[in-house]
């Protein structure tokens, strides 16, 4: 995963255990190829873009994407990579074209990627960590390649971001969370306006082990959406970014050094997302 604005030159990324190079061709389309040149194995991250191909720095062989096993799509200001034969839908937001999205620099976290995704669906921690009390039971639904959790909360916290959210929402937030594996989407409805958070998380390969459940550190990729017709759009975008980052920063702290165990967990949503993650095609290959 990467930010669209970062593809000004070839960029090396890791995906499901494979090292790839992303680049933007002369036609403006983002592409991905395996990181090593098929000629003699030079790393293509040192290459340069020539038309819609990548020229290897070692012998100037051009590597195109006609037979690349990777498919690339951009949305929310982020770059998504999937296998070409992948059929599940990409992460999306309801009425995406109604939103304007801005991204922030990736955040490094001392948390395994799967722990972080699972934490987003841990309802008991909403009150303990985020000071949000459920107004009624949450609902869990499943779709192709996606699990969703919908709930309504009131704010019980007294911190600056809590008080601001309480004011903006009249103390009633409707949230819809969607898990697509390593990407989670939060859609918040405050009654008079909406916002969205796209959070992609990828493992740091050099920190991984061969445990059954993912370990090591992760990098998060964030995009924030506000309605295009917002008054003072820059202020709205900055406010939305601040509120979501204030929310997430609490998780970054409490999840640090967690050794996850589910043996004593009885929360339905936590167990449901754990089952969903381990059922995914690329489970076990994300590192």
Tens of pLDDT along 77-104? Answer: 999 999 988 888 899 999 999 999 999 9
Burial class of residue 89 in the structure, from the number of CB atoms within 10 Å of its CB (0-12 exposed, 13-18 middle, 19+ buried)? exposed
Is 29 within the bounds of a domain? yes
Quote the longest CA-to-CA distance of the chain: 64
Look at 25-34, 78-87, 145-154 and tell me which has the smallest mean pLDDT: 78-87
- Look at residue 207 and tell me whether its pLDDT is greater than 90: no
Last residue of a domain, one of 39, 58, 83: 83
> Is the CB of residue 156 less than 8 Å from the CB of residue 127?
yes
Q: In Å, what is the CA distance from 206 to each residue of 64, 139, 210, 216?
A: 28, 37, 12, 8
Residue 284 pLDDT grade (very low, low, confident, very high; cuts 50, 70, 90): low
The pLDDT of residue 264: 96
Tokens of 140: 């869990």
Look up residue 36 and give its DSSP letter: B
Last residue of a domain, one of 83, 116, 148: 83
Do residue 236 and residue 272 come from a single domain? yes
Is the pLDDT score of 143 beyond 70?
yes
More confident residue, 116 or 208: 116
In this prediction, residue 168 carries a pLDDT of 97
Average pLDDT over residues 127-140: 98
Q: Which residue has the tokens 């976290």?
A: 109
- Find the radius of gyration of the CA atoms of the chain: 20
Number of domains in the chain: 2
pTM of the model: 0.92
Q: In which band, very low, low, confident or very high, does the pLDDT at 15 lie, cut at 50, 70 and 90? A: confident
Residues 75, 100, single domain; the answer is: no
- Within 8 A by CB and 6+ apart from 286, the residues are 16, 17, 113, 114, 182, 202, 203, 214
- Going by C-beta distance under 8 Å and a sequence separation of 6 or more, which residues neighbour residue 142? 148, 276
pLDDT score, position 283: 66
pLDDT for 287 equals: 42
Tokens linked to 36:
């090593």
Q: Which residue has the higher pLDDT, 144 or 178?
A: 178
204 pLDDT band, cuts 50/70/90, is confident
3-state DSSP call for residue 197?
strand
How confident is residue 282, by pLDDT bands cut at 50, 70 and 90? low
| Domain shared by 219 and 156, yes or no | yes
- The CATH number for 152's domain is 3.90.380.10
| 107 has a pLDDT exceeding 50 | yes
Please give the average per-residue pLDDT across 102-117, as a whole number.
Answer: 93
Q: Which two tokens stand for residue 101?
A: 């999205």
239 within domain boundaries: yes
In this prediction, residues 63-67 reach a mean pLDDT of: 91
Sign of CA dihedral 176, 253, 215, 241: positive
Structural domain for 143, as ranges: 96-278
14 pLDDT exceeds 90? no
- Supply φ then ψ for residue 42, to 5 degrees: -65, 150
- Tell me how far apart the alpha carbons of residues 236 and 226 are, in angstroms, rounded to a whole number: 7
**In whole numbers, what is the pLDDT of the chain averaged over residues?**
93
Residue at a domain's end among 43, 59, 83 = 83
């Amino acid at each position: 995963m990467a930010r669209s604005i970062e593809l000004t030159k070839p960029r090396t990324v890791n995906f499901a255990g494979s090292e790839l190079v992303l680049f933007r061709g002369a036609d403006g389309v983002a592409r991905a190829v395996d990181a090593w040149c098929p000629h003699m194995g030079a790393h293509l991250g040192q290459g340069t873009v020539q038309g819609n191909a990548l020229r290897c720095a070692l012998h100037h062989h051009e590597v195109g994407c006609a037979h690349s096993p990777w498919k690339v799509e951009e949305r929310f200001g982020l770059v998504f990579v999937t296998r070409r034969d992948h059929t599940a839908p990409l992460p999306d937001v309801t009425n995406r074209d109604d939103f304007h999205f801005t991204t922030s620099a990736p955040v490094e976290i001392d948390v395994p990627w799967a722990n972080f995704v699972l934490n987003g669906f841990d309802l008991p921690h909403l009150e303990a960590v985020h000071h949000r009390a459920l107004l009624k039971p949450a609902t869990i639904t499943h779709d192709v390649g996606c699990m969703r959790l919908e709930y309504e909360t009131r704010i019980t916290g007294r911190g600056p971001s809590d008080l601001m959210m309480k004011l903006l929402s009249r103390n009633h937030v409707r949230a819809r969370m969607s898990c697509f594996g390593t990407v989670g989407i939060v859609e918040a409805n405050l009654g008079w306006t909406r916002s969205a958070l796209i959070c992609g998380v990828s493992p740091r390969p050099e920190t991984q082990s061969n445990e059954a459940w993912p370990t090591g550190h992760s990098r998060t990729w964030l995009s924030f959406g506000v309605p295009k017709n917002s008054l003072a759009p820059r202020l709205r975008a900055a406010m939305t970014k601040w509120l979501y980052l204030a929310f997430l920063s609490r998780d970054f702290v409490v999840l640090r050094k967690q050794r996850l165990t589910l043996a004593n967990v009885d929360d339905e949503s936590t167990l449901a997302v754990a089952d969903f993650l381990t059922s995914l095609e690329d489970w076990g290959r994300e590192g």
